[in-house]
Amino acid sequence: MEQTVNEKIDAIVALLKQTTTGRCAIALAGAHAKGVADASSDIDLYLFADGAKPYEERKAIISSAADAGTFPWIDESFDATPWGGSMDFTYQGTPVEVTARTIEKMDAGIADCLNGTFSIIPATWTSNGYYTYIYLCEASFIKPVYDPDGVIKRYNEQARVYPSKLKEAIIREFMGRADTWLDNFHYESAIRRADLLFTAPIVLHTVMDFVQVIFALNETYFTGDKKLEKALASLPYCPKELLDHVEFLLSAPRDPAALLKQRTLLREIRAALCAKIG
């Protein structure tokens, strides 16, 4: 008989515990944590531990439970990338995405966030880079499913209040980035030439920089690139110039007049944000 989603989660948690050494804590994220999952939703889990068992041993543990004919992806360590180490596989027809981190790295990452320190790291799977303050953002919504030592409970508590130092640092960094091109003559000449391969990335990255400023102004944690338009519309404050013109800003007509209007809108959004920042 096919397992229910909760039964699958329980079985996966038991499996993941076998891949660690020392303390271990596991949290649910994604659609299942938010209560909006459907039949096609994957299972997103965060695993925090003092250490990881050797790569080949972890690979064997995960492969033993993964669906036949599938090929699990297992990173060589829990700190293999800035965002952690992945253990992704398919279990009884359901994709499972596990982000694993050492507790030491997670603690250090959250401490940086609380002090307003972060990095922006280029990554192919996100349009504007990986922001390391995601560590604290994730801590605000993950739900513990195995937490005998209170590790995740502590992370949840650290994220309960949006840190003022992080807010100031995000606004300063991303307003500076957004300001790079809006008064630059190279952008202006590219508009006159209708040089889409030059202008389109400028608009996209400027919009995405503004998005980070808007979340920070609202003291709301940014939780990822998906469903951003809906998330922005739900915030107490978002410049009308952005909400009303998202589609136009993110399309790139080969028309100098339209490209000039894009820049005008970006400047209007900048002015609105500057007024809000004060």
Domains of the chain (ranges; CATH) run 5-158 (3.30.460.10), 164-277 (1.20.120)
Token pair 């038991």 in the structure block, residue: 14
When pLDDT is cut at 50, 70 and 90, the band that residue 1 belongs to is very low
The pLDDT of residue 33 is 77
When pLDDT is cut at 50, 70 and 90, the band that residue 32 belongs to is confident
Residues 182-216: pLDDT tens digits? 999 999 999 999 999 999 999 999 999 999 999 99
The pLDDT of residue 183 is 96
Token pair 């195995």 in the structure block, residue: 146
Q: Which residues pair with 87 in a beta bridge?
A: 74, 98
Sign of the C-alpha dihedral computed for residues 37, 41, 43 and 45 taken in this order = negative
pLDDT at 41 exceeding the cut of 90? no
